């Protein structure tokens, strides 16, 4: 595993000034069942985070609602003071009434409270990338993102992103604050947000696909993805990640795991290369 490094995934400058390796780490899974409470192995979770940095991962994505607070706190405990170039993105705008339960809340006072807590848990003076986790249908977007503008002016947030949005919502948001990233569900087998990927490409925004590994029929033994994986001495998961990196230069996949071995396997996906013809065959099978 000595030659495995996230640097092989290439770089992208979020907001034009935050250069990160495109293959990052999503920190939702370093919590308890239902994204609720502490993980079964706290020290193991910290070990995964530290190993990710050793493997060249310098983009970590979390949220105040993961745990809640558990994921951010573990990142702060494991990685602060941060190695040079490490970027931690977090999100706010969801409340957690219980395991696997999520409710949007975009009131300005709530978002400000969450940002203050994120700063404390992550042990940073400024959040490099803060993302509105969901647009709250009960709160005007001008209120939610207007508060983000104030927090930017106060030096508590550097860049602002969105999560689970459509192009018209990104347009609306950009009238209030500069948007540098969008985080939507997207993978080889689930491309319902293709229009958003194209929007991000056209406008130079980072696209952060969550649930990045293809599942379902596409990933089954004997399928086109499995066939190509065997041919290249890779796993289906690695090919799923490699496809995302191939799909667009603005793509920043953030696979998550609680296992060092699985982490190393994910990062190795950065070095998996297929020809355009091979990718075309896989994409055709996915459709």
Active-site annotation, residues: 66
Dist CA 47 CA 259 (whole Å): 9
**DSSP 8-class letter at 190:** B
DSSP-assigned states of every residue in 126-178: SEEEEEESS--TTS-HHHHHHHHHHHHHTTSEEEEEEES--HHHHHHHHTTS-
For residue 81, say if its preceding peptide bond is cis, omega within 30 degrees of 0.
Answer: yes
Answer whether 139's CB lies under 8 Å from 110's CB.
no
Residue 191 burial (C-beta neighbours within 10 Å; 0-12, 13-18, 19+): middle
15: its two tokens: 């907001």
Residues sharing a CB contact under 8 Å with residue 244, sequence separation 6 or more, in sequence order: 186, 187, 188, 209, 212, 251, 253
């Amino acid at each position: 595993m000595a030659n495995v490094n996230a640097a092989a995934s290439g770089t992208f400058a979020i907001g034009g000034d935050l250069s990160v390796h495109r293959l990052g780490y999503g920190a939702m899974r370093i919590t308890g069942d239902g994204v609720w409470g502490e993980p079964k192995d706290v020290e193991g979770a910290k070990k995964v985070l530290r190993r990710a940095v050793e493997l060249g991962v310098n983009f970590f994505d979390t949220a105040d609602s993961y745990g809640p607070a558990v994921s951010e706190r573990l990142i702060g405990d494991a990685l602060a003071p941060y190695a040079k170039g490490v970027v931690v993105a977090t999100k706010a705008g969801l409340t957690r009434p219980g395991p696997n339960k999520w409710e949007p809340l975009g009131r300005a006072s709530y978002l400000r409270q969450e940002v203050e807590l994120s700063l404390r848990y992550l042990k940073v003076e400024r959040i490099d990338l803060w993302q509105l986790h969901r647009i709250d249908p009960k709160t005007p977007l001008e209120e939610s993102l207007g508060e983000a503008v104030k927090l930017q002016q106060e030096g508590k947030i550097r860049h602002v992103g969105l999560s689970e949005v459509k192009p018209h919502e990104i347009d609306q948001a950009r009238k209030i604050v500069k948007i540098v990233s969008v985080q939507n569900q997207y993978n080889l087998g689930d491309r319902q947000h293709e229009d958003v990927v194209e929007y991000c490409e056209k406008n130079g925004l980072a696209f952060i696909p969550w649930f990045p590994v293809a599942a379902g029929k596409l990933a089954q033994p004997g399928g086109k993805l499995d066939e190509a994986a065997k041919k290249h001495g890779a796993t289906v998961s690695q090919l799923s990640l490699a496809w995302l990196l191939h799909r667009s230069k603005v793509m920043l996949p953030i696979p998550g795991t609680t296992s060092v071995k699985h982490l190393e396997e994910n990062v190795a996906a950065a070095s998996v290369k297929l020809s355009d013809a091979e990718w075309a065959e896989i994409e055709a099978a996915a459709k």
